[in-house]
Structures are given as structure tokens and as C-alpha cells.
Structure 1
């Protein structure tokens, strides 16, 4: 394994490793204005949501590594204490990338990138009409993390108004992850399209999983079952009862009967793995416990 002391490599090299590893990162498409009302629009991937009560987003316009200068966005939020955080969908990504060009101060990136300005309700910066979600925010604090190139500046944004395109909502008025079609930053020039990699993992909130340490040793030390498989198996409160296992065996298909009576352990674990991949956790457990 490559081990790195941050103090022994250049900031540029370290920056590359950090961004390549901490990914995908959501994108804050920040619209701001300066004290004279000049509009700026720029994307930042040092960004996330950190609180729901109060609703707080944080993004970080870092000092440029090459010459230690600051971004217009940072200068604007320090002057006016307001920002609109626009969420970026796949349909916007090329225009958004264009807006990251380092235009001179006073140049409106809405115009350069071809986005549509729409007025906000409670803050001066305009919203991006094309964005599926727009957060109007008051900047409560800016925390500088250093004075050298590459140092971040945490912009704490309290959300005062949320605008959501109804086209991205499902029947329950929740945001549909496929419809919102967000993109995220990876390392280098790479992006990730969220809906192409979506999968569902049930949160262990309603149950207390038995834990990997309580799995039968043959399962825990399996040469076939992966860490993901063990995590799924361990996220049950109780194991199937003897009655449930007996019922499963009595109703098992001929291939399963063979696995239970004559198949080797690896074959059994491979079939259980298939059941797990199809969301059949109870059946996987019954199969694993049916072989004595």
C-alpha cells in the first residue's frame, strides 16, 4: 500500500490524491453578487449538507494552488453574506464546466455559459433556472483554513428558501434520485452520473443486527461470501427457526436438494450469494443453515 506523509509531497500532488479518493463529490453551483451587484456563477465540489435544523450547507472555495489567489465567489460572500446554491443535473454539466473558466471579475458567467437568471425571494443573487433544486442562503460564517495556496474557506450557508422542480418529484412528493439526475466530481477531469450507479441498501434503523461476530464460523470464514454478503447476513435480528429451515428444505427444488445433501460448501455459498444479490435474505439464510 502506498503511504504518504502530506508534508513530504507537493500541494498539487496531495490535491490530486485527495480529490481522486474522496469521490464522488456533489457540486455546489454557487451564484453570488458583489457589493455593486455584479453577478458571479461558479461550481465547487468541496460541498455537502451538514445540518437539517437549522438547514446548513457548507462549500469551500479554496485558494488557488498555483498563485495563492482567492475566488470571486469567496470575495462576494464576504462582502454580501448571501449565496444561492444550485444543484447540477446531467443536462447542465457541460455549461457548468464552461462557467468554471476564470473570467475577469465583473463578467457574468450566466451569460457566458448560457444559463437563465431568475430572481430569488430573500437574497440578491439570482437562481439558475435550469437547476432542478435551488437553495437561497444567508452566509452565517466564513472559516479560513489557512493562508497558503490550496487552503480552503468554509462558507456556512443557512438555507432560507428551497425551490424544487416538481418534475423531479415522485408520487409521494419526494425527490426521485433518477429524475433529478445529478452529477458529481471525481478526480482529474472525471465526473459521475449518479443515476447510473444507484443501488439501495436498507438502513438498520428498525432492527438490531446480530453482527458479523455472531455469524456461524463456516459462514464468517467463507472463501466465497464477500464482506458485502456478510454485512447483509449479519443485519438480521434473529436466525431462521428450525421449523422455517425444515419448511425451506421440504419445498426446495431438486438443485437445492443436491446442494443441501451432496454439494460442497463453496457451491452452497455461491448459491446463497445469488439469493442475496436478488434480495432474498431469508432464503439465503435458510439455505446456508440447511446443510448440517
Structure 2
């Protein structure tokens, strides 16, 4: 296989992935914004989220900024901003602001130095907990602890479930294909001696499958 073909093929194997913009800032006050499809839930208590950053063969502005300030934000990509979000993957120089080049808007809140994306409807701030080297391919798993969540109130259901589909959140397949979703159902907790039940969007049980 050619390198290009292999890259596209292998990046498609894992299926749909989350589309998120990671916002950071360096000690000089220069902001950075980059799209990532490797964000993953690691635990709820404590609330830990991680993402994979590529090998450090070139300067990784996101990683370097997080090392400096110990803070970053994760901003879900929605149907209104996916083109702008994709543009952040361009190789801008460290002194160039992706917000300015993509038309996205940085916002800040007290006690969080890193910028949020105003146009994102679900976003959260994290403090750096750990950076874990992955020896197999020289990538790094960056782990953060969630400190602040900003979400449209209507999307948070009474049982705590966040209805990201109502926020028109998009996903990624491969490197460059963007998708909207269609919910099939929510299902009750699986038990070996009981068939799952459909749940309403608010978590109420409706019927057995």
C-alpha cells in the first residue's frame, strides 16, 4: 500500500469518532485551536477525559501549551461549525490564531485560562492530570480532569444524560468525513436474565424489546 492509501484505510477502521476542538493558550497569551477525533471518556469519578496526540516529530502546539499552562478546553463540533472546525487542522504557525483564520470565537471564564469556542453548544474545561507515552507508536495519551461544563440546558435530561443529538453534534469517520446522527433508542442497563427496555430520552422505561 502507498502511505496515503494505508493512512486513509486504517483511520477508517475504528468507525465513527467524536469531533472536538481542543482550545489552549501559551504563557505569552497566544491561543491555539485544533480538531481532534481521539477524545475518549476514561472515568466518571473522578471525571477524566483523554485524547491522543501524534508523535512529536514536529512541534505540537496543543501539547506544548497544555504542558505550559496545565489547562485546556474540549468543545464539541456541531452542524453549524464543522467546516470551520476542519480548517483548524491546517498547519498554522505558532503565532497564528486559528480562531481568526476560521471565524470561530474564543471566550473565557474565570479560573480557566484556556479559550472555549463560543459556537460550540457543549464544552468543558480540564486540568492536566497525566501524560502517558505510548511506546508502540510514540504517541501520547493526554489525560485531563473535568473542572467546568458549559452546555445548553435543554440538552441535559433529568437523569443526567446529555442528549448530544439535540445539539446537532457531528462525528468523524476516517480523516475527513463528517456525519450527523440518528438515535435508534436508549436502552436500560443490561442484565443477563432480563431483556433490555426502551428508555425515553429522559430515562423513563417505555417497553421491552
- Give TM-score scaled by structure 2 length: 0.83
Which residue in the other structure is 1:93 paired with? 82
Q: CA deviation at 1:204?
A: 4.3
Q: CA deviation at 1:13?
A: 5.3
Select the structure that is richer in helix. Answer: 1
Q: CA deviation at 1:15?
A: 3.8
Q: Classify 1:171/1:82 alpha carbon distance in 2 versus 1 (closer, same or farther; 3 Å).
A: closer
1:41 & 1:94 partners in 2: Cα distance? 14
RMSD: 2.6
Picking from 162, 167, 184, the partner of 1:199 is 184
Which residue in the other structure is 1:155 paired with? 142
Which residue in the other structure is 1:269 paired with? none
1:161 & 1:94 partners in 2: Cα distance? 26
Partner-residue secondary structure (3-state), 1:179:
helix
Which residue in the other structure is 1:209 paired with? 193
Deviations 1:222-250 (A, max 9, x none): xxxxxxxxxxxxx37xxxxxxxxxxxxxx
Whose Rg is larger?
1
Q: Confirm whether residue 185 of structure 1 aligns to residue 136 of structure 2.
A: no
Q: CA deviation at 1:280?
A: 7.4
Which residue in the other structure is 2:200 paired with? none
Partner-residue secondary structure (3-state), 1:60:
strand
Is there any run of 5+ residues in structure 1 with no aligned partner, and where?
Answer: 1-8, 211-234, 237-278, 282-292
1:117 & 1:189 partners in 2: Cα distance? 24
Picking from 20, 42, 52, the partner of 1:28 is 20
Q: Which moved more, 1:14-23 or 1:105-114?
A: 14-23
Q: Classify 1:29/1:161 alpha carbon distance in 2 versus 1 (closer, same or farther; 3 Å).
A: same
Ranked by relative contact order (alpha carbons within 8 Å, sequence separation 6 or more), the top structure is: 2
Which residue in the other structure is 1:62 paired with? 54
2:65 & 2:208 partners in 1: Cα distance? 53
Picking from 20, 44, 63, the partner of 1:74 is 63
- Give TM-score scaled by structure 1 length: 0.61
Q: Confirm whether residue 107 of structure 1 aligns to residue 96 of structure 2.
A: yes
Q: CA deviation at 1:199?
A: 1.0
Q: CA deviation at 1:165?
A: 1.7
Which residue in the other structure is 2:132 paired with? 143
